[in-house]
Amino acid sequence: MIRLTLLLLVWITTIACNSQSLSPAKVTTTGGTVSSSNGSLEYSAGDMLLSEDESLQSGFQSTTLTVTQITENTVSLPTFKVYPNPAAQSIIISSASSDYFSYSIYGIKGQIVLSEKQALSDAEKIDISQVPNGTYFINITNDNNVVITYQIVKAN
């Protein structure tokens, strides 16, 4: 009986020592890579992760982002000159870079006081003699739809 027990114990120990050992592993169910000239992004979603305690965890997601190039986009804004400021009777708008422009003059509460679209010569004179004294904002839009805002003061 002791011999049988001893044989059984040796046999169980042998099986236990030769059993398969599982190491942590990841099984991806979906994923991919997105690339451009500026970099790449590798992603995976719905991963199954087998942890060291042999439990299965789902929903693990991993990403790898590689940036290979950063470029600076610069936009040259048109330069308008609005003068005189403060003004009593008229203001002058001038620009060396636009052929056409439109302008809208807004009161401090946002109401439109004057608005017009016109061709731009060296300098365009805008009559503001009928506008009450106060602070106004003038939005100037060039032929490329770039809007520049200036603050002007109407004072006698």
Residue 144, pLDDT score: 78
> Each residue of 100-142: pLDDT tens digit?
788 899 999 999 999 887 766 667 889 999 999 999 999 988 8
Dump pLDDT digits (tens) for 61-97.
556 667 777 777 776 777 788 999 999 999 998 887 6
Give the per-residue pLDDT at 137.
95
Structure-block tokens of residue 109:
């509460």
Q: pLDDT-based confidence at 152, cuts 50/70/90?
A: very high
Q: 7 falls in which pLDDT band (50, 70, 90)?
A: low
Cβ atoms of 102 and 115 within 8 Å: the answer is yes
The beta-carbon contacts of 100-105 under 8 Å, at least 24 apart in sequence, are 100/142, 100/143, 101/140, 101/141, 101/142, 101/143, 102/140, 102/141, 103/138, 103/139, 103/140, 103/141, 104/138, 104/139, 105/131, 105/136, 105/137, 105/138, 105/152
pLDDT value of residue 147 = 86
pLDDT at 115: 87
Q: What pLDDT shows up at residue 27?
A: 55
Q: In this structure, is the dihedral angle defined by the CA atoms of residues 44, 60, 49 and 64, taken in order, positive or negative?
A: positive
Q: Which domains does the chain have, with CATH numbers?
A: 23-68 (2.30.18), 80-154 (2.60.40.1930)
CA distance 128 to 83: 12
pLDDT digits 0-9 by tens, 22-67: 455 555 566 677 777 777 777 666 655 556 665 655 555 556 667 7
CA distances from 40 to 15, 27, 44, 61, 133 (A): 48, 22, 14, 17, 57
